Amino acid sequence: MVALLIIIFSKITPKVIGAAFPKKIAANVGWLILPRIFVLKPLLWFIKSFFSGLMRVLGLQSSSDSRAMSKEKLRSLSNRFASNHHRNILLNLFNLESITVNDVMTHRSKIEALDLSRPIDEVVQQLETCYHNKLPVCDGDSERIVRILSVKKTLSLLGDADLKHQDFRSLLNEPYFIPSGTPVLPQMQFFQDNQQRLRLVVNEYGEALGLVTFEDIVKERIDEYTTSFSNLSTDPRWLADAMYLPSGGESLRDLHRLLTLNLPCNGPRTLNGLILEKLEAIPAHDVSIRIAGIVMEIVQFDEHGVKTVKLYRPIIVQAQD
């Protein structure tokens, strides 16, 4: 009985009160605790050193700092005390360890590239209407990116009536390549250390698979601040008839972020790839399938794959008491 009272009033109750009113309690008792910390600091150091030495003698010394908080504890604390907005940001940071540049890159089919083999007036028109800071440059072969052009550097040239292709070639920079499958965290550190914002992702044969920018990684970390970077509609609401019409090339991660779906992201990275993996063939007619509890109706397709899909919002069934 005495042990139960000690646990309740000496351990549980103070923790609950301290967690509920941390600032108020700290302001009232801080002046009393601080002098005792300085007075008892030598004793605390002696006790800590004694038990640390005893643990080493017994072979029980932990290889990691016992004071370090594990990811599981941080996740639990964020679920309990953080708001939904800040909790999502924190959980995104934890998930970055398992994400590679392939998950966040822009696929080469969606890359806007500048072809310097085209007539000079078409090149100038593309630069005048371009909304990117940097453009990958090819020279006749759209599958082979040879240089990177900073659009800002071309602004002073666009008013010249005697522009030639060589004027733009003199502004080109060497592209930076990154192997496919590179983790996102070290790549973000590279961007910060070298003041770079764009790298090309290549496979083992040196073929460009896509490009990744600093903004792509930031979007993955704090997606609510960067909805303008997404190719999807910025309106996350389903249509009135509980449907949504994405293209087959949309990223599964973007669909999950936009519509809060639980689509598998450990295989194909696009909706088209997920459907083809499920069907094991390119559809020859309109079909409907269910993946991860979501009904998908193929609306448009061709010999290369699925073009447009109709997603039906899953019905959440709540348990009755």
Give yes or no for residue 211 having a pLDDT over 80: yes
* Helix/strand/coil for 213: strand
Ramachandran category for residue 42: left, alpha or beta (phi over 0 → left; psi -120 to 50 → alpha): alpha
State which of 210, 225, 240 marks the end of a domain. Answer: 225
Cβ(307)–Cβ(248) below 8 Å: yes
Residues 101 and 219 in one domain: yes
Answer yes or no: is 258 within a domain: yes
Answer yes or no: is 152 within a domain: yes
Answer yes or no: is 16 within a domain: no
The pair of structure tokens assigned to 60 is 């029980």
Residues 101 and 217 in one domain: yes
Answer yes or no: is 291 within a domain: yes
* Domain around 108: 97-225
pLDDT one-digit tens code per residue, 166-206? 888 888 888 888 898 888 888 888 888 887 788 899 888 88
Residues 184 and 254 in one domain: no
Residues 114 and 201 in one domain: yes
Residues 200 and 113 in one domain: yes
Kindly report the pTM of this predicted structure: 0.55
Residues 199 and 272 in one domain: no
The pair of structure tokens assigned to 155 is 């602004």
CATH of the domain at 220: 3.10.580.10
Q: Would you state the pLDDT for residue 146?
A: 85
Residues 205 and 117 in one domain: yes
pLDDT one-digit tens code per residue, 73-131? 666 666 666 666 666 667 666 667 778 888 888 888 788 889 988 898 888 888 888 88
* Helix/strand/coil for 158: coil
Residues 212 and 238 in one domain: no
Helices (H), the chain: 2-6, 13-20, 22-57, 71-81, 84-95, 101-104, 120-129, 151-154, 165-169, 184-194, 214-221, 252-259, 271-279
Residues 287 and 254 in one domain: yes
Domain count within the chain:
3
Residues 181 and 238 in one domain: no
Residues 157 and 54 in one domain: no
Return the amino acid letter for 1: M
Residues 221 and 262 in one domain: no
Return the amino acid letter for 86: H
